[in-house]
Amino acid sequence: MARRWPADRPLRVLEVGAGTGGLTGALLPVLPADRTTYLYTDVSAYFLPRAQQRFARYDFVRYRTFDLDVDPVEQGLAEGGFDLVVAANSLHTGKDLTATLERIAALLAPGGRLLSIEHHHPEALIPWFGFLDSLLHHHTDHELRPGAILLPREEWPPLLERCGFTDLVQTGDDRASDLTSASVMLATAPRKPREPPPEPPVGPRGAAFVLVTEEPAEESLADSVAELLTADGRHAVRRVRADEDVREWRQEIGEPAEDLHLVLVLADRAPSGVAGLTEHTARRATLLRGLAQAREGRLPQGRTSNCGW
Ligand SMILES: C[S@@+](CC[C@H](N)C(=O)[O-])C[C@H]1O[C@@H](n2cnc3c(N)ncnc32)[C@H](O)[C@@H]1O
Protein backbone atom coordinates (compact mmCIF):
# COMPACT_ATOMS: atom_id res chain seq x y z
CA MET A 1 0.00 0.00 0.00
CA ALA A 2 2.84 2.36 0.95
CA ARG A 3 4.70 1.61 -2.28
CA ARG A 4 1.68 2.11 -4.49
CA TRP A 5 0.33 5.24 -2.82
CA PRO A 6 -0.01 8.09 -5.39
CA ALA A 7 2.72 10.70 -5.13
CA ASP A 8 0.21 13.55 -5.02
CA ARG A 9 -2.02 12.19 -2.23
CA PRO A 10 -1.40 12.35 1.51
CA LEU A 11 -1.51 8.95 3.23
CA ARG A 12 -3.44 9.49 6.44
CA VAL A 13 -2.71 6.80 9.03
CA LEU A 14 -4.30 6.32 12.45
CA GLU A 15 -2.88 3.87 14.99
CA VAL A 16 -5.23 2.86 17.81
CA GLY A 17 -4.13 1.36 21.13
CA ALA A 18 -0.51 2.03 20.13
CA GLY A 19 0.80 1.47 23.68
CA THR A 20 4.58 1.18 23.72
CA GLY A 21 4.74 1.46 19.91
CA GLY A 22 5.95 -1.99 18.84
CA LEU A 23 4.03 -1.87 15.57
CA THR A 24 4.76 1.82 15.05
CA GLY A 25 8.50 1.16 15.18
CA ALA A 26 8.13 -1.34 12.33
CA LEU A 27 5.79 0.79 10.21
CA LEU A 28 7.28 4.29 10.30
CA PRO A 29 10.43 3.44 8.32
CA VAL A 30 8.39 2.00 5.41
CA LEU A 31 5.89 4.85 5.07
CA PRO A 32 6.55 7.63 2.51
CA ALA A 33 7.79 10.42 4.80
CA ASP A 34 7.02 13.18 2.29
CA ARG A 35 3.27 12.49 2.21
CA THR A 36 2.32 10.53 5.33
CA THR A 37 0.50 11.89 8.35
CA TYR A 38 0.52 9.41 11.24
CA LEU A 39 -1.68 9.84 14.31
CA TYR A 40 -0.34 7.79 17.21
CA THR A 41 -3.06 7.18 19.80
CA ASP A 42 -3.84 5.24 22.93
CA VAL A 43 -6.61 5.49 25.51
CA SER A 44 -3.92 6.32 28.06
CA ALA A 45 -1.85 9.50 27.83
CA TYR A 46 0.87 7.67 29.77
CA PHE A 47 2.41 6.26 26.57
CA LEU A 48 2.51 9.49 24.57
CA PRO A 49 5.63 11.35 25.87
CA ARG A 50 7.72 8.16 25.64
CA ALA A 51 6.54 7.52 22.07
CA GLN A 52 7.21 11.16 21.18
CA GLN A 53 10.79 10.75 22.35
CA ARG A 54 11.26 7.40 20.66
CA PHE A 55 9.88 8.49 17.28
CA ALA A 56 11.17 12.09 17.36
CA ARG A 57 12.96 11.73 14.04
CA TYR A 58 9.65 11.08 12.22
CA ASP A 59 8.23 14.59 12.04
CA PHE A 60 5.01 13.43 10.34
CA VAL A 61 3.81 11.71 13.53
CA ARG A 62 1.31 13.38 15.89
CA TYR A 63 0.34 12.04 19.32
CA ARG A 64 -2.94 12.13 21.21
CA THR A 65 -5.35 10.05 23.27
CA PHE A 66 -8.17 8.18 21.58
CA ASP A 67 -10.68 5.85 23.20
CA LEU A 68 -12.09 3.01 21.09
CA ASP A 69 -15.19 2.99 23.30
CA VAL A 70 -16.23 6.58 22.53
CA ASP A 71 -17.66 8.19 19.39
CA PRO A 72 -14.63 9.44 17.38
CA VAL A 73 -16.41 12.65 16.32
CA GLU A 74 -16.96 13.51 20.00
CA GLN A 75 -13.20 13.05 20.40
CA GLY A 76 -12.45 15.48 17.57
CA LEU A 77 -11.66 13.01 14.75
CA ALA A 78 -13.38 13.48 11.39
CA GLU A 79 -15.45 10.69 9.81
CA GLY A 80 -13.71 9.41 6.68
CA GLY A 81 -10.50 11.19 7.74
CA PHE A 82 -8.06 8.24 7.40
CA ASP A 83 -6.82 5.99 4.59
CA LEU A 84 -5.36 3.37 6.91
CA VAL A 85 -6.11 2.39 10.51
CA VAL A 86 -3.59 0.10 12.20
CA ALA A 87 -4.08 -1.80 15.44
CA ALA A 88 -1.78 -4.30 17.12
CA ASN A 89 -3.58 -6.33 19.75
CA SER A 90 -5.79 -3.42 20.60
CA LEU A 91 -9.13 -3.91 18.78
CA HIS A 92 -10.19 -6.48 21.37
CA THR A 93 -9.83 -3.85 24.12
CA GLY A 94 -13.05 -2.24 22.88
CA LYS A 95 -15.81 -3.03 25.38
CA ASP A 96 -18.24 -3.73 22.53
CA LEU A 97 -16.27 -5.07 19.59
CA THR A 98 -19.01 -4.51 17.02
CA ALA A 99 -19.35 -0.85 18.02
CA THR A 100 -15.54 -0.50 18.00
CA LEU A 101 -15.29 -1.82 14.44
CA GLU A 102 -18.18 0.35 13.26
CA ARG A 103 -16.39 3.41 14.70
CA ILE A 104 -13.25 2.45 12.81
CA ALA A 105 -15.21 1.87 9.60
CA ALA A 106 -16.66 5.37 9.99
CA LEU A 107 -13.19 6.88 10.48
CA LEU A 108 -11.92 5.35 7.24
CA ALA A 109 -12.35 7.06 3.87
CA PRO A 110 -14.39 4.98 1.39
CA GLY A 111 -12.20 2.04 0.39
CA GLY A 112 -9.69 2.74 3.21
CA ARG A 113 -7.93 -0.18 4.96
CA LEU A 114 -7.87 -1.63 8.43
CA LEU A 115 -4.68 -3.54 9.23
CA SER A 116 -4.80 -5.38 12.52
CA ILE A 117 -3.00 -8.04 14.48
CA GLU A 118 -5.02 -10.02 17.01
CA HIS A 119 -4.25 -12.88 19.34
CA HIS A 120 -6.92 -15.56 19.57
CA HIS A 121 -6.16 -17.51 22.73
CA PRO A 122 -6.65 -15.85 26.14
CA GLU A 123 -3.49 -17.50 27.51
CA ALA A 124 -1.58 -15.18 25.17
CA LEU A 125 -2.59 -12.23 27.35
CA ILE A 126 -1.39 -13.71 30.61
CA PRO A 127 2.16 -12.31 30.24
CA TRP A 128 0.60 -8.78 30.03
CA PHE A 129 -2.37 -9.05 32.35
CA GLY A 130 -1.75 -12.07 34.57
CA PHE A 131 -5.11 -13.47 35.62
CA LEU A 132 -6.68 -10.08 36.37
CA ASP A 133 -10.38 -10.65 35.95
CA SER A 134 -11.15 -6.98 35.38
CA LEU A 135 -8.89 -6.89 32.32
CA LEU A 136 -9.78 -10.24 30.83
CA HIS A 137 -13.52 -9.77 31.33
CA HIS A 138 -14.14 -6.01 31.09
CA HIS A 139 -16.11 -6.30 27.83
CA THR A 140 -19.88 -5.91 27.58
CA ASP A 141 -20.65 -7.91 24.40
CA HIS A 142 -21.06 -11.25 26.14
CA GLU A 143 -23.09 -12.75 23.30
CA LEU A 144 -20.19 -12.25 20.94
CA ARG A 145 -17.49 -12.92 23.54
CA PRO A 146 -18.98 -15.26 26.15
CA GLY A 147 -15.57 -15.99 27.66
CA ALA A 148 -12.50 -13.74 27.72
CA ILE A 149 -11.92 -10.74 25.46
CA LEU A 150 -10.11 -12.47 22.58
CA LEU A 151 -12.10 -13.63 19.58
CA PRO A 152 -11.27 -16.96 17.89
CA ARG A 153 -9.62 -16.55 14.49
CA GLU A 154 -12.60 -17.79 12.46
CA GLU A 155 -15.00 -15.32 14.12
CA TRP A 156 -13.21 -12.20 12.86
CA PRO A 157 -14.19 -12.41 9.15
CA PRO A 158 -17.98 -12.60 9.73
CA LEU A 159 -17.77 -9.87 12.37
CA LEU A 160 -15.80 -7.55 10.09
CA GLU A 161 -18.31 -8.24 7.32
CA ARG A 162 -21.25 -7.37 9.59
CA CYS A 163 -19.50 -4.08 10.36
CA GLY A 164 -19.32 -3.23 6.65
CA PHE A 165 -15.73 -4.34 5.83
CA THR A 166 -15.02 -6.28 2.64
CA ASP A 167 -12.11 -8.06 0.90
CA LEU A 168 -10.71 -9.55 4.10
CA VAL A 169 -7.41 -11.35 3.99
CA GLN A 170 -6.21 -13.11 7.12
CA THR A 171 -3.02 -15.02 7.87
CA GLY A 172 -3.19 -18.55 9.27
CA ASP A 173 -4.74 -21.82 8.21
CA ASP A 174 -8.51 -21.92 7.67
CA ARG A 175 -8.50 -25.71 8.13
CA ALA A 176 -6.82 -25.51 11.54
CA SER A 177 -8.07 -22.15 12.73
CA ASP A 178 -7.97 -23.07 16.40
CA LEU A 179 -4.26 -23.82 16.16
CA THR A 180 -3.50 -20.26 15.03
CA SER A 181 -2.50 -18.25 18.07
CA ALA A 182 -2.52 -14.87 16.28
CA SER A 183 -3.41 -13.53 12.86
CA VAL A 184 -2.85 -10.42 10.78
CA MET A 185 -5.95 -9.11 9.02
CA LEU A 186 -6.35 -6.60 6.23
CA ALA A 187 -9.88 -5.43 5.47
CA THR A 188 -11.38 -2.72 3.29
CA ALA A 189 -13.86 -0.13 4.52
CA PRO A 190 -17.15 0.36 2.68
CA ARG A 191 -16.58 2.10 -0.66
CA LYS A 192 -19.59 4.32 -0.25
CA PRO A 193 -19.92 6.69 2.70
CA ARG A 194 -22.30 5.32 5.30
CA GLU A 195 -25.99 5.96 4.76
CA PRO A 196 -27.42 8.41 7.27
CA PRO A 197 -29.56 6.63 9.91
CA PRO A 198 -33.18 6.22 8.77
CA GLU A 199 -35.63 8.88 9.87
CA PRO A 200 -38.03 7.66 12.56
CA PRO A 201 -41.22 6.42 10.89
CA VAL A 202 -43.88 9.06 10.53
CA GLY A 203 -47.04 7.21 11.40
CA PRO A 204 -50.23 7.61 13.31
CA ARG A 205 -49.86 8.68 16.92
CA GLY A 206 -49.17 5.73 19.17
CA ALA A 207 -50.69 4.80 22.48
CA ALA A 208 -50.41 6.56 25.82
CA PHE A 209 -48.81 4.64 28.67
CA VAL A 210 -48.85 5.41 32.38
CA LEU A 211 -46.05 3.63 34.27
CA VAL A 212 -46.80 3.22 37.94
CA THR A 213 -44.01 2.36 40.39
CA GLU A 214 -44.42 1.36 44.00
CA GLU A 215 -41.02 2.31 45.39
CA PRO A 216 -37.63 3.82 44.38
CA ALA A 217 -36.06 0.38 43.74
CA GLU A 218 -38.32 0.00 40.69
CA GLU A 219 -37.40 3.30 39.08
CA SER A 220 -34.54 1.95 36.97
CA LEU A 221 -36.72 -0.84 35.52
CA ALA A 222 -39.40 1.76 34.80
CA ASP A 223 -36.74 4.00 33.14
CA SER A 224 -35.81 1.13 30.79
CA VAL A 225 -39.45 0.36 29.98
CA ALA A 226 -40.10 4.06 29.26
CA GLU A 227 -37.04 4.23 27.02
CA LEU A 228 -38.23 1.22 24.97
CA LEU A 229 -41.74 2.55 24.68
CA THR A 230 -40.66 5.99 23.50
CA ALA A 231 -37.88 4.77 21.16
CA ASP A 232 -39.80 5.31 17.92
CA GLY A 233 -41.23 8.65 19.04
CA ARG A 234 -44.86 7.59 18.66
CA HIS A 235 -45.93 6.57 22.15
CA ALA A 236 -46.34 8.93 25.08
CA VAL A 237 -45.29 7.80 28.57
CA ARG A 238 -46.14 9.35 31.89
CA ARG A 239 -44.69 8.25 35.23
CA VAL A 240 -46.65 8.00 38.48
CA ARG A 241 -45.59 6.94 42.00
CA ALA A 242 -48.09 4.60 43.68
CA ASP A 243 -47.69 6.37 47.01
CA GLU A 244 -49.13 9.55 45.53
CA ASP A 245 -52.74 10.41 46.20
CA VAL A 246 -55.30 8.71 43.90
CA ARG A 247 -56.55 12.18 42.95
CA GLU A 248 -53.08 12.91 41.60
CA TRP A 249 -53.29 9.83 39.40
CA ARG A 250 -56.54 11.00 37.92
CA GLN A 251 -54.73 14.13 36.83
CA GLU A 252 -51.83 12.10 35.46
CA ILE A 253 -53.99 9.59 33.68
CA GLY A 254 -55.35 12.51 31.73
CA GLU A 255 -57.96 12.73 29.05
CA PRO A 256 -60.39 9.90 28.22
CA ALA A 257 -58.84 7.69 25.56
CA GLU A 258 -59.21 4.12 24.35
CA ASP A 259 -55.48 3.69 23.79
CA LEU A 260 -54.36 4.42 27.34
CA HIS A 261 -52.36 1.58 28.93
CA LEU A 262 -51.58 1.30 32.63
CA VAL A 263 -48.33 -0.52 33.42
CA LEU A 264 -47.71 -1.29 37.07
CA VAL A 265 -44.07 -2.09 37.94
CA LEU A 266 -44.00 -4.23 41.10
CA ALA A 267 -40.88 -4.79 43.18
CA ASP A 268 -39.92 -8.37 43.87
CA ARG A 269 -40.14 -8.05 47.63
CA ALA A 270 -41.10 -10.86 49.95
CA PRO A 271 -42.14 -9.47 53.33
CA SER A 272 -41.60 -11.88 56.18
CA GLY A 273 -44.29 -13.09 58.56
CA VAL A 274 -48.06 -13.20 58.31
CA ALA A 275 -48.53 -9.59 59.45
CA GLY A 276 -46.05 -8.30 56.84
CA LEU A 277 -47.64 -10.33 54.05
CA THR A 278 -51.16 -9.24 55.02
CA GLU A 279 -50.16 -5.59 55.09
CA HIS A 280 -48.34 -5.90 51.78
CA THR A 281 -51.28 -7.65 50.08
CA ALA A 282 -53.75 -5.10 51.43
CA ARG A 283 -51.57 -2.23 50.16
CA ARG A 284 -51.36 -3.76 46.70
CA ALA A 285 -55.10 -4.44 46.59
CA THR A 286 -55.68 -0.78 47.49
CA LEU A 287 -53.28 0.26 44.79
CA LEU A 288 -55.03 -1.87 42.15
CA ARG A 289 -58.44 -0.63 43.18
CA GLY A 290 -57.22 2.97 43.12
CA LEU A 291 -55.77 2.49 39.64
CA ALA A 292 -58.88 0.79 38.33
CA GLN A 293 -61.08 3.55 39.75
CA ALA A 294 -58.89 6.29 38.40
CA ARG A 295 -58.91 4.63 35.00
CA GLU A 296 -62.63 3.79 34.88
CA GLY A 297 -63.40 7.41 35.60
CA ARG A 298 -61.58 8.36 32.41
CA LEU A 299 -62.71 5.68 30.00
CA PRO A 300 -65.11 6.48 27.21
CA GLN A 301 -68.54 5.04 27.92
CA GLY A 302 -68.71 1.24 27.85
CA ARG A 303 -64.94 0.56 27.54
CA THR A 304 -62.68 -1.32 29.95
CA SER A 305 -59.11 -0.38 30.70
CA ASN A 306 -55.92 -2.06 29.46
CA CYS A 307 -53.76 -2.88 32.43
CA GLY A 308 -50.48 -4.77 32.53
CA TRP A 309 -48.17 -5.67 35.41
C1 LIG B 1 -2.22 -5.40 24.47
S2 LIG B 1 -1.78 -3.72 24.41
C3 LIG B 1 -1.07 -3.54 22.80
C4 LIG B 1 -0.16 -2.35 22.70
C5 LIG B 1 0.61 -2.20 21.40
N6 LIG B 1 -0.27 -2.00 20.27
C7 LIG B 1 1.53 -3.38 21.19
O8 LIG B 1 1.25 -4.19 20.30
O9 LIG B 1 2.49 -3.47 21.93
C10 LIG B 1 -3.39 -2.94 24.26
C11 LIG B 1 -3.31 -1.44 24.19
O12 LIG B 1 -4.63 -0.96 24.00
C13 LIG B 1 -4.83 0.17 24.83
N14 LIG B 1 -6.26 0.31 25.13
C15 LIG B 1 -6.98 -0.29 26.13
N16 LIG B 1 -8.27 0.12 26.07
C17 LIG B 1 -8.36 0.98 25.04
C18 LIG B 1 -9.43 1.75 24.51
N19 LIG B 1 -10.65 1.72 25.03
N20 LIG B 1 -9.18 2.55 23.45
C21 LIG B 1 -7.92 2.62 22.90
N22 LIG B 1 -6.88 1.90 23.37
C23 LIG B 1 -7.09 1.10 24.43
C24 LIG B 1 -3.99 -0.10 26.05
O25 LIG B 1 -3.64 1.09 26.74
C26 LIG B 1 -2.77 -0.80 25.44
O27 LIG B 1 -1.76 0.12 25.11
Query: pLDDT for 273-305, tens place per residue?
Result: 888 888 777 777 777 777 776 666 554 444 444
pTM of the predicted model over 0.75: no
| Top CATH class, 11-188 | alpha beta
How far is 235 from 42, CA to CA, in rounded Å?
42
pLDDT band at 28 (very low <50, low <70, confident <90, very high): very high
Our answer on whether the CB atom of 253 is closer than 6 Å to any ligand 1 atom is: no
Tell me whether the CATH fold assigned to 11-188 matches the one assigned to 208-308.
yes
Give, for ligand 1, the residue of 13, 41, 43 to mutate: max count of ligand atoms closer than 8 Å to Cβ.
Answer: 43
| Residue-range domain boundaries for the chain | 11-188, 208-308
How far is 182 from 89, CA to CA, in rounded Å?
9
Our answer on whether the CB atom of 88 is closer than 6 Å to any ligand 1 atom is: yes
Collapsing DSSP to helix, strand or coil, 44 comes out as: coil
How far is 63 from 104, CA to CA, in rounded Å?
18
Our answer on whether the CB atom of 101 is closer than 6 Å to any ligand 1 atom is: no
Q: What is the DSSP letter of 90?
A: -
Our answer on whether the CB atom of 116 is closer than 6 Å to any ligand 1 atom is: no
Residues contacting residue 87 through CB under 8 Å, at least 6 positions apart: 15, 16, 17, 104, 114, 115, 116, 117
Q: Residue 91 in contact with residue 145, Cβ under 8 Å?
A: no
- Which whole-number Å values give the CA distances from 16 to 81, 91, 93, 174, in the listed order? 14, 8, 10, 27
One-letter amino acid identity for 164?
Answer: G
Cα(305) to centroid(ligand 1), Å: 55
pLDDT at 111 over 50: yes
Give, for ligand 1, the residue of 40, 90, 140 to mutate: max count of ligand atoms closer than 8 Å to Cβ.
Answer: 90
Tell me the mean pLDDT in the region 254-273.
Answer: 69
Cα(18) to centroid(ligand 1), Å: 6
- Which whole-number Å values give the CA distances from 76 to 71, 79, 107, 205, in the listed order? 9, 10, 11, 38
Q: What percent helix, strand, coil does the chain show, rounded to 5?
A: 35, 25, 40
Give the CATH architecture of domain 208-308: 3-Layer(aba) Sandwich (3.40)
Lowest-confidence range among 72-76, 236-240, 245-249, 261-265? Answer: 245-249
